[in-house]
Structure 1
Amino acid sequence: MADAVEAAIRSGRDPAPIIERAKRDLAARQERERQIADPPPLYGSARWPTSQDLRAYLRDRTAFDDPRSILLGAFSDEGQTIPPGFVHWDGDGHLLTIAPTRSGKGKTTIIPNLLRYQGSCVVLDPKGELFEATSQWRSKLGPVYRIAPLDGGSGKPVHRFDPVSRVRRESDARAIAMQMFPHDPKSPAFFADDAVGFVTAIIMFVRYKAPPHRQTLATVCQMASLKGASLLQIAKQMETFQPSADAARTILEKDPTRGLKVLQETLTSKLYEWKDVDIQRSVSGSDVSFESLKDRPATVYIEIPFDMMKTFSGWLRVLLKSALDAMLANPRIPELPVLFVLDEFLNIGPFPEYRDAIRTHAGAGIRLWFFLQDIYSIEEHYPGNSWRPFLNCAVKQFFGINDDDTAKMIGGYLGHKTHAVRTTGGSANVSSHLRDLYGDASTNTSFSMTEGVQFLGRPLLTSDEVRELLGGWQGDGWRYGITDIAGTRPFKTQLVVHEKSETCRQRIGMMMQGDDKWP
């Protein structure tokens, strides 16, 4: 520009137009640079939040013993190697972690929190590793119970729970019966309803008419398994007790060769797991009161081998539904919410009561923490859109993802961003003039260059990039996770195995038989 201004002045022309044009070019260039650095949200405004954005959740190492928060990993700003803080969530609502089996859920997430959370906990522990790693420290907070019907004489403490002990009304009895006879879409509902009604009546009869030492679910199962004349004799006794009279009368009026036979077949097909000797022993009395978990800190581990969860899913449903109902039966809101850690939750099978509890138990003083494998497995048990209520959890955490469907869902949560690309265009113009056949010729050539900015939309992370980020371990005992807390942008975290924490190493340990004595 300086040369052009100087030439204009030497030739006596006004240089102002040249200067004005240069100013406009400079302003246009600066605007292009601004748009490239911070493009307008034409296709989306997704970005990774900064530590400033997440300041309400970030704490230093001294917050490890915050009695009520959930620790969700470490956070670093993009490009930084030293974590500025650890993510602590202490809000209302529930949590959902989606991570496949053997992705380190226990070591990076569950165990560290059980070694620090000071409220009551109900822990679904299919592998038994959570009890072995955390029960010793948790026993210092209050009573620890281990309901493990298939223990097999390990020497670890074993406790019983009888759901009949908390029956107060017919609706309580029916809730137990419905879990024992869950709806089977492949079978006529009539037969299951008939069995539910009869078992409900037996539960009421046992609860209020049996001798005290026989008022258990074990007795209920024994009575419901009777055949022929023995079953009719029990029905006659039940007919004298008003709460069970109608159901008993229905049994007595059935055709022995048809209606009664079908009922007995239905009862037999559903009660097989309840006739197991170990299951009978586990429901022969109650050492645990789930209602009391709101009154003082206590921990209940529910342990059954992973490969037996489906076989004994009825027992698990009855136990877990009793624990859930107890949270409403005791209206007290504890200072520290009761935490339900539901590892391998999908292996129980469809359990809509827990899915619905995300809504029905809001404000009940509990936190449900679901651990699910992937979207395909969720949809298998909750078809159509029936699985979507799980996404209403206040906290959603993802790691270990290696399937495309789940990766696409995560990409959808992350959203799209607008990407700015610098564009350059050029043009040339050549003109020639010939005066006559023998005269002089002239040629004029001009070039022009234009710069611009093009805006494109793209996901913050594609499904391939999600799987690359979350699929594997990054180094010595740590991996990336993505966490979405309601009201914030999703963010990346670093999840570290508990063995890397000195505090966790000091607290690791198992309570043994004889240690379960509390005032």
Structure 2
Amino acid sequence: MVFGKLFGGGKKDRPVDPDAGKSHLRILVETLDPAWREAFVMVANDPQLDSVYRDILYRQLAQGQIEEARTTLRQVIPMMTKANRDRIQHLGQAQAWASDDDLLRAGIFSHKGTAFPVDYLELGYMPRQRSNGEPVRLPVMFHGEGHLLTVAPTGSGKGQRFILRTLLEFEGPVVVLDPKGENYRETAWRRDLYGQVYKWAPGEPDSDCYNPLDRVKGWDDARLLAELLVVPQSKEPFWDDAARDLLTGLIFYVMHRRPRERRNMREVCRLLAASKADFDAMVEDLQGSDDERLQELGNIIETQSEALRASITTTLRTQLAVWRSDDVVAVTSSSTPGWSVETILREDNSWVMQAAKAGRPPGWYYDEAAEEAQVGRAASIYLIVSPEKMSSMRTVLRVMLGQHLSEAIRVRRMLDEENATDADLPKSYPNWPMTFYFDEMPQLGYMRIIEDAVAITRSYRIRLWLFTQDMAQLKEVYQKWESLIANCRCQVYFRPNDQTTAEHVANRLGKRKDLWGGEDWVASPQQLMGPEFREDCVIIQDGLTIRARMFKPYYADEDLQDWVVEQKNKLGDEIHRAPRPGPTPVMDPAPEDEEPEAEASVTASPEDADLQGDADYQAELAALQARMRARKAGAPEATKNADEGDGGAPERPAGSSEPLRRPPTPPSFDE
């Protein structure tokens, strides 16, 4: 007995036979190649086949007679049902796609009775049938850490099938590059329920404002802004580097040597176009500065030849020309109150923490006692630029997106450290990432911060969703495009219309041996480009290859349209906007016997209340805004401005006691 225990010979240590109690037929089926396993099950269960064919096939497979088994299959296929005939021809290829069990284990399908995670995105669905024959859609979900990449040509429905739907469903904070303004028009009403909505649209009178220099707190911030402003154009890095160095110093100089109301990109552009006398005065001012870096900049500029300095400044003036346009100046010279990533993420984090401690999901909810919907704190930022202006506005969009992403990384890291010290927080609780929608991403040019963020931000609750038209476009802009793709946990491909992209997807799927001993593509480039995949997308996620059915376009989805109408009727469709910022008014001096009225400016901070500003500058900006209003007079107001009040969360009309969240009860794999 002792020897048995020591050397594994005891009764209790005898291994349990996993095949105990199983029939020979069951054991054979489990050991077959997946394609042959499914073929055998189809033959055994086909209602039009006699059981003798099952017995013949069983004997041949049990004896390893594969060629004889193929002969038997060829004989019985014409006698099978049409559905089985269609399936059995491509069994080897079908096995390359992830099965329902694979998707369930990976969390891409939902278990019966479990709610969707709060950070989920619905990418497509699998058409299935319940046991009673009723059709059901099993949603293909993405949730948890990681980033997404979608590759599809223009006009294929990236926005209609993916972006609009997920913006309606996902309740966390978002930054959306919205080339056509469609995302704002169709989803801002809903996202207003999730938190404050900001609309940045140069040339539109109701646009919010964002001043990039408000985010510059030090030299590193100035350097990042300069890097985003300068789009790499030269094969010789000296010119791009020299332009960034000069621009970094000018931004830092404006932040230190100009009054607050002139700390904006328009002032930086003025310095680049200064007269020789003004430029020399600036160099002298730099050299006399108390800051060592400004002194160095002044010395460098002074030692440069006239020709070199002229070349660098000409390059910068060309790249920054758009920052002098009326439309851009009007929306980048000040900032809408509350519009900073730190403010947005702190408010959202506070709201999520309150929900965690109260034991409820984060986000908006219906207050039964007050009989009204309580708005969430997850803000939405829409950056709207028409497609034809994307190229000319590239440097502006790079700054908007790059600064928001950089600040999100910094703030999320800081908030995670603070949350870790909160003893009242549960060990685990529902939370969501800040999601960036980079539509038409390659048109922005190479952005190092995107490469870095995709590689390092998975644990910071920051999610990037990158969109490109084809692989050639991505390769042209990003030298490390393969690394960029590899760092995206989920990749979605559909409707490729060029051979390069189709071959890339086909190679990712690979080749498989079929039942007949041949080798063929799981999906050939021609299949991917043809009608067979017209309504399907290829998803590569967590090591699985998924063929999913795409949702109908937003405009053609009657069920979704009905839901939108129902929700608007219950909760309203008004978009509550933040107060508009404006320049410090230039006021006539009050009579000596009257007290001057208090000056109200949403852009002035308390410590700057005594600044009167530059009269010429304020007059110029006021005239510019007047021209903008006159030019846009009569344009329909998309939303109602909420200039009154304190800018806090607005009250909402009372709706149903159970406001719908779409979908209210997710179908599950188990059903």
Q: TM-score, normalised by structure 1?
A: 0.78
Please state if 1:96 is matched with 2:149: yes
Deviation at 1:62, TM superposition (A): 9.4
Q: What does 1:103-502 correspond to in 2, within 5 Å?
A: 103-151=156-204, 153=205, 157-186=206-235, 188-241=236-289, 242=291, 243-256=293-306, 258-287=307-336, 288-295=339-346, 296=348, 297-330=378-411, 331=413, 332-333=415-416, 335-383=431-479, 385-421=480-516, 455-469=517-531, 472=534, 479-498=535-554, 499-500=557-558, 501=560, 502=562
Please state if 1:518 is matched with 2:578: no
Larger strand fraction of residues: 1
Deviation at 1:32, TM superposition (A): 4.1
C-alpha distance 413-35 of structure 1, shift in aligned 2 (>3 A):
farther
CA contact (8 A) 2:495 2:528 kept: no
Q: C-alpha root-mean-square deviation of aligned residues, in Å? A: 3.1
Mapped to 2, the partners of 1:169 and 1:26 lie a distance apart of 76
C-alpha distance 66-466 of structure 1, shift in aligned 2 (>3 A):
same
The number of residue pairs the alignment matches comes to 448
Instruction: Provide the secondary structure at the position in 1 that maps to 2:460.
Output: coil
Determine which structure has more spread, i.e. the larger CA radius of gyration: 1
1:503 aligned to which of 556, 559, 563: 563
C-alpha distance 466-184 of structure 1, shift in aligned 2 (>3 A):
same
C-alpha distance 495-309 of structure 1, shift in aligned 2 (>3 A):
same
Mapped to 2, the partners of 1:62 and 1:26 lie a distance apart of 39
Please name the residue that 1:57 is paired with: 108
Of 333-342 and 280-289, deviating more is 333-342
Of 502-511 and 94-103, deviating more is 502-511
Mapped to 1, the partners of 2:267 and 2:115 lie a distance apart of 47
C-alpha distance 132-29 of structure 1, shift in aligned 2 (>3 A):
closer
C-alpha distance 369-205 of structure 1, shift in aligned 2 (>3 A):
same
CA contact (8 A) 1:76 1:84 kept: yes
Deviation at 1:490, TM superposition (A): 2.5
The amino acid across from 2:545 in the alignment is R
1:74 aligned to which of 125, 141, 147: 125
Mapped to 1, the partners of 2:532 and 2:447 lie a distance apart of 28
Deviation at 1:388, TM superposition (A): 4.3
CA contact (8 A) 1:126 1:343 kept: yes
Deviation at 1:419, TM superposition (A): 1.1
CA contact (8 A) 1:227 1:264 kept: no
CA contact (8 A) 1:66 1:117 kept: no
**Structure 1 residues not aligned, in runs of 5+:** 1-22, 422-454, 473-478
The amino acid across from 2:563 in the alignment is T
CA contact (8 A) 1:51 1:76 kept: no
C-alpha distance 132-273 of structure 1, shift in aligned 2 (>3 A):
same
**Structure 2 residues not aligned, in runs of 5+:** 1-54, 74-86, 349-377, 420-430, 576-638, 650-671
Mapped to 1, the partners of 2:390 and 2:112 lie a distance apart of 37
1:85 aligned to which of 138, 149, 170: 138
CA contact (8 A) 2:146 2:463 kept: yes
Instruction: Provide the secondary structure at the position in 1 that maps to 2:102.
Output: coil
C-alpha distance 25-368 of structure 1, shift in aligned 2 (>3 A):
closer
C-alpha distance 266-137 of structure 1, shift in aligned 2 (>3 A):
same
The amino acid across from 2:59 in the alignment is A
Please name the residue that 2:629 is paired with: none
CA contact (8 A) 1:35 1:420 kept: no
CA contact (8 A) 1:356 1:389 kept: no
Deviation at 1:359, TM superposition (A): 0.2
Please name the residue that 1:15 is paired with: none
Mapped to 2, the partners of 1:253 and 1:65 lie a distance apart of 63
CA contact (8 A) 1:144 1:300 kept: yes
Cα deviation 1:246-269 (Å, max 9, x = unaligned): 11222233344x333333323322
Instruction: Provide the secondary structure at the position in 2 that maps to 1:301.
Output: strand
Cα deviation 1:48-107 (Å, max 9, x = unaligned): 223222122224999897531011111135999934411122121000111111111111
% identical aligned pairs: 23
Cα deviation 1:29-52 (Å, max 9, x = unaligned): 65447965899xxx9995222322
Mapped to 1, the partners of 2:641 and 2:495 lie a distance apart of 39
Cα deviation 1:451-508 (Å, max 9, x = unaligned): xxxx221111111111225664xxxxxx221211113232323322233323345457
Deviation at 1:127, TM superposition (A): 0.3
CA contact (8 A) 2:199 2:208 kept: yes
The amino acid across from 1:240 in the alignment is G
CA contact (8 A) 1:134 1:507 kept: no
